[in-house]
Structure 1
Amino acid sequence: MRKKIITSAFSNLYTDQRIEKVCKTLHENGYQIELIGNDWGGASEMKRPYSFSRISLISKSLKTAYFEFNWKLYKELKNKADKHTILHANDIDALLPNYLIAKKLNIPLIFDSHEIFSEMPAIQGKMSQKMWRYLEKKVLPKLKFMITASGSYAQWFKEKYNIDPVVVQNSPRRMSFSIDIPENKPKIFLYQGAINPFRGIDKAILAMHHLDHVIFKIAGDGPRRKEYEDLVVKESLQQKVQFLGKLMPEELRKVTLTADVGMSIEENGGDSYLYSLPNKVLDCIQARVPLIMADLPEMQNIKRQFDVGEIIKDHQPGNIAEAINKVLNRGRKNYQDELEKASEVLCWENEEVKLLEVFQKASQ
Structure 2
Amino acid sequence: MKRKIIISAFSNLYTDQRIEKVCKTLHENDYDIELIGNDWNGAEEMARPYPFVRIFLISKSLKTAYFEFNWQLYRLLKQKADNNTVLYANDLDALLPNYLISKKLNIPLIFDSHEIFSEMPAIQGKMSQKLWRFLEKKLVPNVRFMITASGSYANWFSKKYEVSPVVLQNAPRKISFNIEIPENNPKILLYQGAINPFRGIDKAILAMHHLENVIFKIAGDGPRKKEYEELVIRENLQRKVQFLGKLHPDDLRKITLVADCGMSIEENGGESYFYSLPNKVLDCIQARVPLIMADLPEMKNVKNQFDVGEIIEDHHPENIAAAITKVLNRGRNNYLSELSKASDILCWEREEIKLLNVVENALRF
State the TM bucket, normalised to the shorter chain. over 0.9
1:335 is displaced (CA, Å) by: 0.3
Matched, 1:328 2:328: yes
Distance 2:2 2:254 in 1: 39
TM-score by length of 1: 0.99
Gaps of 5+ in 2: none
Amino acid at match of 2:303: K
Amino acid at match of 1:357: N
Distance 1:233 1:82 in 2: 55
Corresponding residue number in structure 2 for 1:5: 5
Corresponding residue number in structure 1 for 2:166: 166
Secondary structure of the structure 1 residue equivalent to 2:181: coil
Distance 2:227 2:25 in 1: 39
Corresponding residue number in structure 1 for 2:216: 216
Matched, 1:91 2:87: no
Alignment of 1:107-146 (within 5 A): 107-146=107-146
Amino acid at match of 2:79: N
Distance 1:106 1:60 in 2: 35
Corresponding residue number in structure 1 for 2:354: 354
Contact (CA 8 Å) 2:14, 2:248: kept in 1 or not?
Answer: no
Secondary structure of the structure 1 residue equivalent to 2:228: helix
Going from structure 1 to structure 2, the CA distance change for 1:136 and 1:2 (only over 3 Å counts) comes to: farther
Corresponding residue number in structure 2 for 1:53: 53
Distance 1:304 1:125 in 2: 34
1:349 is displaced (CA, Å) by: 0.2
Distance 1:357 1:306 in 2: 27
Matched, 1:66 2:69: no
1:2 is displaced (CA, Å) by: 5.7
Secondary structure of the structure 1 residue equivalent to 2:310: strand
Alignment of 1:212-251 (within 5 A): 212-251=212-251
Corresponding residue number in structure 1 for 2:291: 291
Contact (CA 8 Å) 1:308, 1:335: kept in 2 or not?
Answer: yes
Distance 2:21 2:263 in 1: 23
Amino acid at match of 1:211: L
Q: Summarize deviations over 1:93-127 as a string: whole Å, max 9, x none.
A: 10001000000111000000000000000000111
Corresponding residue number in structure 2 for 1:188: 188
Distance 2:75 2:226 in 1: 39
Corresponding residue number in structure 1 for 2:302: 302
Matched, 1:252 2:252: yes
Distance 2:2 2:49 in 1: 20
Contact (CA 8 Å) 1:285, 1:342: kept in 2 or not?
Answer: yes
Matched, 1:313 2:313: yes
Secondary structure of the structure 1 residue equivalent to 2:354: helix
1:179 is displaced (CA, Å) by: 2.5
Corresponding residue number in structure 2 for 1:202: 202
1:248 is displaced (CA, Å) by: 1.3
Distance 1:177 1:142 in 2: 43
Corresponding residue number in structure 2 for 1:150: 150
Secondary structure of the structure 1 residue equivalent to 2:131: helix
1:245 is displaced (CA, Å) by: 1.2
1:169 is displaced (CA, Å) by: 0.4
Secondary structure of the structure 1 residue equivalent to 2:43: coil
Distance 2:48 2:131 in 1: 34
Distance 2:54 2:220 in 1: 23
Amino acid at match of 1:85: T
Q: Summarize deviations over 1:265-305 as a string: whole Å, max 9, x none.
A: 00000000000010000000010000000000000000000
Alignment of 1:20-39 (within 5 A): 20-39=20-39
Distance 2:76 2:247 in 1: 32
Contact (CA 8 Å) 2:27, 2:33: kept in 1 or not?
Answer: yes
Going from structure 1 to structure 2, the CA distance change for 1:336 and 1:362 (only over 3 Å counts) comes to: same
Secondary structure of the structure 2 residue equivalent to 1:135: helix
Secondary structure of the structure 2 residue equivalent to 1:276: coil
Corresponding residue number in structure 2 for 1:280: 280
Distance 1:52 1:256 in 2: 28
Which stretch of the first structure deviates more once superposed, 244-253 or 328-337? 244-253
Corresponding residue number in structure 2 for 1:338: 338
1:233 is displaced (CA, Å) by: 1.2
Amino acid at match of 2:129: Q
Amino acid at match of 1:124: Q
RMSD: 0.8
Contact (CA 8 Å) 1:2, 1:363: kept in 2 or not?
Answer: no
Amino acid at match of 1:251: D
Secondary structure of the structure 2 residue equivalent to 1:6: strand
Count of aligned pairs = 364
Distance 1:362 1:225 in 2: 41
Secondary structure of the structure 1 residue equivalent to 2:7: strand
Report sequence identity in percent.
78
Runs of 4 or more above 3 Å deviation: none
1:84 is displaced (CA, Å) by: 0.8
Contact (CA 8 Å) 1:120, 1:270: kept in 2 or not?
Answer: yes
Contact (CA 8 Å) 2:148, 2:169: kept in 1 or not?
Answer: yes
Gaps of 5+ in 1: none
Q: Summarize deviations over 1:120-170 as a string: whole Å, max 9, x none.
A: 000001111001100110011111100000000000000111111000000
Corresponding residue number in structure 2 for 1:18: 18
Amino acid at match of 1:274: F
Contact (CA 8 Å) 1:2, 1:86: kept in 2 or not?
Answer: no
